[in-house]
């Protein structure tokens, strides 16, 4: 899409300009640091304290440049993230690349449908949708794709997705800040541990000394400059400097405990402060986004400001590893004692705020992914929800198949709620089952579906399409399949479900397979079950005549034209009439 090319070019230009400023300020910072060292040396070697004035001014300038440099560093990474975001969308849409995480970490072998429908893994639905960057965002997206959702939540999610779809700039801003936050699983768990850990205290004596001794230091310095010939002031400055430093050093263990071994965590929290600000200042119409905004602000409280304070305090604590700041600032002011006291006060009063905010941001990231999917596929339809018994799709296709190769089919489960699907090998039965399943997953998440129109109501989805034997558990393929079918039967007896079954009981003989398949169908339709079963056994289709109000036969056909197979992948009413296995084997000279 043209918008991604335009935004990429714009951010590349901004990135180049900011990068130049970043390098210039970095060079100036090094120069000023050398000036500080040089004039301090001249002061000591010549015994001329006038050089210290230059060093003092240089120190102030160095601190200012340090802050400017840090700000430019943050902006550089932010702009680079925006360049990458738009480049990835271009590669995704034009080159069919998927440079996004595939969610393999969230895959569970025994889930009701995720393994069968390729929800996670390479070239999965998750990878296709995923535009999250934080661990929580990734987890929330995984939850949306494999959890049970009620009608109200689906409608709320649809409303959010529709609203956010055209907010490309806003969505990419959130995505970029999340990318540079570096909130992976380890950092999240450390922040979680910090947020829930007991808050220590600094005793009153240390707090008093943190104000008293720096005050005495100022008096001693003033006395030294007024009457430098009196050695007392020089000894006083030296003694108080050492005492301040010793007191500050005694708090290092407390500081290291609060930091928890995480480096640059202030950048993570700073990114979340920026995300919160974007949410707070945006005008939302959808109820769920309005609820998120309400969580982040009220008349006297803004999360963005509070997290900015926490980010600054974390950053100030981390300077304990800087020898220059550690010695000079603590020697004069007990700097880290004051910072630690403010930090612990914030944690005591607002420590639970951080985790709640991260969870909220994760939910927004997940919904942003669905909104991005909607924006990139504007012809897709949002399903209409009903109160039950109506499920239909018009021109339904698989979203992961290219539009120019995709074949769509319409299907309705309203009057005949269970389909027996037949067709020859390679005719498209399994792909169609996955098409229905994947679109139901999207519908339950609140996303649009790859169809011209759809109506449905929320149902748990259970699938048996891809099973393997297990050497580790000494379990045959047949036994694994029977266990899966048992789980499905028990599930539909608990509540109405949508079931997808692909060629069940492949691990047994034809008679057992036929009677077993019919038995499973009869068991399923005793309950309020919707779904499809695909089979090669045409005799199974006869059960439809016993239950014409519930069951219907559908099929995919194959034609032989000019001594070759032709598949149109279009679903038809009735039972499959053509076969192709013998034809293929003869053509490949396997049989005569």
pLDDT digits (tens, 9 = 90+) for 356-372: 899 999 999 999 999 99
Average pLDDT score over residue span 22-26: 95
β-partners of residue 71 are none
pLDDT at 102 over 70: yes
CA distances from 277 to 173, 282, 366, 523 (A): 11, 9, 18, 55
pLDDT for res 473: 47
pLDDT at 583 over 70: no
CA atoms of 162 and 170, how far apart (whole Å): 14
What are 324's two structure tokens?
A: 């220059």
Burial class (CB in 10 A: 0-12, 13-18, 19+), 475: middle
pLDDT for res 470: 43
pLDDT at 474 over 60: no
Which residues, at least 6 apart from 433, have a Cβ–Cβ distance to it below 8 Å? Answer: 421, 463, 465, 500, 502, 532, 534
Q: What is the DSSP annotation of 403-472? A: TTT---EEEE-SSS-EEEEEE-TTSSHHHHHHHHHHHHHHHHHT--BSSSEEEE----EEEE-----BTT
Q: Is residue 471 very low, low, confident or very high in pLDDT (cuts 50, 70, 90)?
A: very low
When the pLDDT of each residue in the chain is averaged and rounded to a whole number, the result is 88
- Determine contact, residues 296/275, Cβ cutoff 8 Å: no
Dump pLDDT digits (tens) for 251-294. Answer: 888 888 888 766 778 889 999 999 999 999 999 999 999 999 98
pLDDT at 10 over 60: yes
Does residue 104 or residue 511 have the better pLDDT? 104
Left if phi > 0, otherwise alpha if psi is -120 to 50, otherwise beta: which for 121?
Answer: left
Dump pLDDT digits (tens) for 178-232. Answer: 999 989 998 898 888 888 888 888 888 888 988 998 888 888 878 877 776 677 7
pLDDT for res 561: 66
Average pLDDT score over residue span 557-584: 75
Dump pLDDT digits (tens) for 134-169. Answer: 999 999 999 999 988 899 999 999 999 999 999 999
Lay out the sheet containing 418-423: strands in order across.
461-464, 498-502, 530-535, 418-423, 551-561, 564-573
Look at 83-92, 127-136, 474-483 and tell me which has the smallest mean pLDDT. 474-483
What are 105's two structure tokens?
A: 């970490």
pLDDT at 307 over 50: yes
Q: What number of residues does the chain have?
A: 592
Look at 74-78, 85-89, 427-431, 467-471 and tell me which has the smallest mean pLDDT. 467-471
pLDDT for res 368: 97
What are 183's two structure tokens?
A: 């909130």
Average pLDDT score over residue span 96-105: 92
Q: Is 326 helix (H, G, I), strand (E, B) or coil?
A: helix
- Determine contact, residues 521/543, Cβ cutoff 8 Å: yes
Q: What is the bridge-based pairing of β-strands 530-535 and 498-502? A: parallel
pLDDT at 407 over 90: yes
- Determine contact, residues 461/497, Cβ cutoff 8 Å: yes
Q: Give the distance between the most distant pair of CA atoms in the chain.
A: 115
Q: How many CB atoms within 10 Å of residue 465?
A: 20
Does residue 397 or residue 584 have the better pLDDT? 397
Give the burial string for 545-572 (b: 16+ CB within 10 Å, else e). eeeeebbbbbbbbbeeeeeebebebebe
Q: Report the predicted TM-score, pTM, of the whole model to 2 decimal places.
A: 0.89
CA atoms of 469 and 573, how far apart (whole Å): 35
Q: Is residue 61 very low, low, confident or very high in pLDDT (cuts 50, 70, 90)?
A: very high
pLDDT at 589 over 80: no
Query: Percentage of residues in the chain with pLDDT exceeding 70?
Result: 92
CA atoms of 60 and 278, how far apart (whole Å): 32
pLDDT for res 562: 66
Q: Is residue 480 very low, low, confident or very high in pLDDT (cuts 50, 70, 90)?
A: confident
pLDDT for res 252: 87
Q: Is 500 helix (H, G, I), strand (E, B) or coil?
A: strand
SS3 string of 246-315?
HHHHCCHHHHHHHHCCCCCHHHHHHHHHHHHHHHHHCCCCCHHHHHHHHHHEECCEEHHHHHHHHHHHHH
Lay out the sheet containing 409-412: strands in order across.
384-385, 453-456, 392-396, 409-412
- Residue 161 CA to chain centroid, in angstroms? 16
β-partners of residue 530 are 498
């Amino acid at each position: 899409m043209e918008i991604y090319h335009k935004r990429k070019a714009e951010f590349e230009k901004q990135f180049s300009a900011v990068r130049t400023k970043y390098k210039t300020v970095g060079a100036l910072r090094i120069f000023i640091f050398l000036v500080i060292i040089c004039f301090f040396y001249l002061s000591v070697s010549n015994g001329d304290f006038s050089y210290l004035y230059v060093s003092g001014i240089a120190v102030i300038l160095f601190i200012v440049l340090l802050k400017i440099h840090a700000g430019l560093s943050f902006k550089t990474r932010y702009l680079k993230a925006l360049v990458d975001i738009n480049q990835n969308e271009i590669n995704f849409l034009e080159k069919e690349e998927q440079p996004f995480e595939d969610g393999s970490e969230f895959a569970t072998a025994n889930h009701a449908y995720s393994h069968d429908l390729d929800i996670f893994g390479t070239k999965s639905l998750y990878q296709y949708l995923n535009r999250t960057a934080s661990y929580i965002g990734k987890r929330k997206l995984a939850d949306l794709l494999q959890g049970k959702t009620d009608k109200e939540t689906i409608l709320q999610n649809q409303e959010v997705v529709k609203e956010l779809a055209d907010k490309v700039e806003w969505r990419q801003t959130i995505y970029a800040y999340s990318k540079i936050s570096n909130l992976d699983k380890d950092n999240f768990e450390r922040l979680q541990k910090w947020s829930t850990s007991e808050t220590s205290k600094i005793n009153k004596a240390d707090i008093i000394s943190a104000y008293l001794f720096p005050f005495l230091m100022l008096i001693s310095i003033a006395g030294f400059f007024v009457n430098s010939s009196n050695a007392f002031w020089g000894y006083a400055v030296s003694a108080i400097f050492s005492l301040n430093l010793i007191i500050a050093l005694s708090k290092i263990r407390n500081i290291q405990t609060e930091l928890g071994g995480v480096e640059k965590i202030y950048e993570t929290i700073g990114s979340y402060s920026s995300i919160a600000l974007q949410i707070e200042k945006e005008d939302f119409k959808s109820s769920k986004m309005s609820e998120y905004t309400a969580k982040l602000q009220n008349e006297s409280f803004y999360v963005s400001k509070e997290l900015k304070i926490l980010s600054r305090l974390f950053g100030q604590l981390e300077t304990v590893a800087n020898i220059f700041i550690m010695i000079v600032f603590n020697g004069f002011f007990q700097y880290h004692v004051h910072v630690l006291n403010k930090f612990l006060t914030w944690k005591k009063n607002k420590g639970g705020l951080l985790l709640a905010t991260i969870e909220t941001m994760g939910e927004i990231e997940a919904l942003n992914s669905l909104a991005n999917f909607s924006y990139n596929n504007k012809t897709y339809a949002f399903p209409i929800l009903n109160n039950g018994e109506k499920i239909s799709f018009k021109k339904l296709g698989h979203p992961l198949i290219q539009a120019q190769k995709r074949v769509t089919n319409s299907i309705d489960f309203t009057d005949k709620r269970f389909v027996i699907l037949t067709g020859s090998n390679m005719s498209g039965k399994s792909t169609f089952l996955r098409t229905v399943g994947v679109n139901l997953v999207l519908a339950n998440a609140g996303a649009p579906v790859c169809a011209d129109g759809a109506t449905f109501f929320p149902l748990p989805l259970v699938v048996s399409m891809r099973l393997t034997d297990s050497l580790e558990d000494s379990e045959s393929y047949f036994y694994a399949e029977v266990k899966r079918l048992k789980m499905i039967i028990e599930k539909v007896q608990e509540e109405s479900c949508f079931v997808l079954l692909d060629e069940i009981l492949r691990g047994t003989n034809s008679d057992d397979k036929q009677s077993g398949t019919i038995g499973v169908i009869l068991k399923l339709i005793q309950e309020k079950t919707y779904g499809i079963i695909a089979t090669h056994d045409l005799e199974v289709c006869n059960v439809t005549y016993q239950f014409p109000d519930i069951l219907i036969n559908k099929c995919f056909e194959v034609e032989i034209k000019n001594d070759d197979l032709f598949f149109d992948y279009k679903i038809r009413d009735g039972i499959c009439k053509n076969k192709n296995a013998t034809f293929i084997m003869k053509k490949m000279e396997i049989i005569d």
